[in-house]
Chain A
């Protein structure tokens, strides 16, 4: 019996955290946020060198061939440092989808380029879960028509899209009849865009369908939950550190029970969530019957805990928490993004109920 992170996972986290602390500081994140959001090559290259970009690519295609849980714990580090890279899309969801649903030649085409970091893939899955409005895309005669909103990574080389029939397709960014419109949003570490298709060519993954789609969404939800976990832990750490140094009434504010209890409440919410997420991550590859229910609960619950921590940690910082000077809002917004992206907590809880036959 061992319910905890493996030595490999702990050492990957240590390596990624050390690299991000040194090379992807908040100043670098600010620089990205103020840019046109094209790929942060320096951070990306560092992650390629660490091997984590190919974490889910099978070994025969040049990747590490690790599990979805391994990928998720790396995601936790990126949330912890609010790192602006297309990790979820390119390194987690796309390789899993292509490995499951692609032909051999499609795997040959995409997977090595993901593993060596030479191509990035964004996600166009929002119409496949908790869809808003009437957007969405359909395929006729092998060509796409329609619109996909809240698509990640406007500068990606490709996008992975789920159409109205739960089929997955890869679209190149230089495809004909494709219009890309940036959708400016609050979290500037995770750029979004809208894609408009009119008879746009695409590369359809023939073995896709609702089963594959559901699995890759479960993987995406769990990884997003880990991202929030990392961000929430960072906000708590920053709040405790600030409170230990900030003096008012001739004492550090960390000695006031009002402040201590806010920090204790954050820890008391984060720790059990971490335990839930560990199981949800484990279930993705090791307990498939449990994977969907726990992925729904992990993302929904972590969204609630993240929202509570984001607010509380900001408040512990007092007025400084509200400013841009400290940059705490990058974590606040990251958590806010993860809450809504690919389905908010109310919708996910309904999916959890459906998974147990408690709702239709």
Chain B
């Protein structure tokens, strides 16, 4: 076991720390998408190789060599400094890696640079009202009419649809094929005629999601990633990228550190919460789990560096990371008691109301990106080798 990153990485970390301290004031706080503040911060980070680090320069990235340890140091240091790192969003975190892997040269040149720069915002059109965990049964259709696809149907849980310029969208193009082989991966503009967006307010009361309806939306034929009927496999490459980012142990560690401080500040009767053994025991229980997931993450990283097997530790990280985070946020609310109920801008909030917000938000993440139940299917089937549920003979699906 060797936990040192090596002297060149210690230097790299030190330089990054200095960079963050020097530029901390320029970091955008809650800056709207496409705002100058957000775009110039993004540009600064790309120039220094602190985001889009390995994406080639010709596509607007930094053009650095792949280096898992540098990537990890970047994640750790921005989280530690509580300064926002590079832009996220489904365009950057999901579409860009997919285009790099499976897009045509023209698509890479057209879409990656403006997406990375924060000028082109994307939304993801996967889930439908009747295609959630069983995503492959999706029914939104696209039929070829001359040089255009004609898209009809609807999508749901579409984050940032109201802000997005473009959508990457799964549609059924081969109505006769088996359900996984009839799907294609289309890209189209959100201002195309025939698209209607209806906001979907979630339990945090933020309009984080939307429903999107398509009526005869015409899409140029060449705006497809991969071939006709291969969309399921294109999408699966992306889902892997998403799951890796949903249970980030660095962010959880920062929340844990803040939670300890909060429990020293809050009182019940005349006693600090931290001095109450029942609350303290709950804190210690959660701390052990935070540590476990952090070392689990280190183990996954190490397996990638050294080419060893870490399938199971990787498979459990979304399930455990989101469940733990929800519980951690919930303990903070209990520590505050009635103050923990405060919500919406007021002088009574602690930490900007983030504990209630994140408590609810992480319930959303337990469900989104593959529910905990789907994760358990994956762990038992692919991790432990247990058989799939037998399929019903007759199909109740209306897609075939």
Contacts and interface: CB of A to CB of B under 8 A. Distances in A.
Interface stretch (A192-200, A213-221, A250-258): A250-258
Interface stretch (A24-32, A105-113, A294-302): A294-302
Size class of the A contact interface (CB-based, 8 Å): 35 or more
Looking at A264, A350, A353, the one whose CB has the most chain B CB atoms below 10 A away is: A264
Given A268-B320, A297-B287, A300-B288, A278 B295 contact: yes
Contact of A3 (B295, B377, B389): B295
Interface string A255-280: 11101110111011001111110110
A349 B295 contact: no
Q: How large is the interface on B (under 10, 10 to 19, 20 to 34, 35 or more residues)?
A: 35 or more
B386 A358 contact: no
B380 interface: yes
A346 B285 CA distance: 9
Main secondary structure of the interface of A (DSSP, over half): helix
Contacts of B280: 349-350, 353, 358-359
Contacts of B4: 1
A297 to B, nearest CB: 4
A271 B291 contact: no
Given A255-B387, A275-B299, A358-B280, A263 B380 contact: yes
A68 interface: no
Contacts of B303: 4
A248 interface: no
Interface stretch (B46-54, B169-177, B308-316, B344-352): B308-316
Contact of B3 (A3, A267, A353): A3
A165 interface: no
A274 B313 CA distance: 9
Contact of A1 (B5, B275, B319, B388): B5
A261 B373 contact: yes
A272 to B, nearest CB: 4
Nearest to B375: A264
A93 interface: no
A82 B387 CA distance: 29
B299 A278 contact: yes
Contact of B292 (A240, A282, A301, A353): A301
A265 B284 contact: no
Contacts of A352: 284, 287-288
A238 to B, nearest CB: 12
Interface of B: 1-6, 69, 260, 274-275, 277, 280-281, 283-285, 287-289, 291-293, 295-296, 298-299, 301-303, 305-306, 308, 312-313, 316, 319-320, 373, 375-377, 379-381, 383-390
Given A349-B285, A350-B284, 8 more contacts: A3-B295, A260-B381, A267-B312, A276-B296, A279-B298, A297-B284, A350-B277, A359-B280
17 contacts: A1-B6, A1-B69, A1-B302, A254-B386, A255-B386, A255-B390, A259-B386, A260-B381, A260-B386, A264-B384, A268-B316, A272-B295, A278-B299, A297-B291, A301-B289, A304-B285, A358-B283
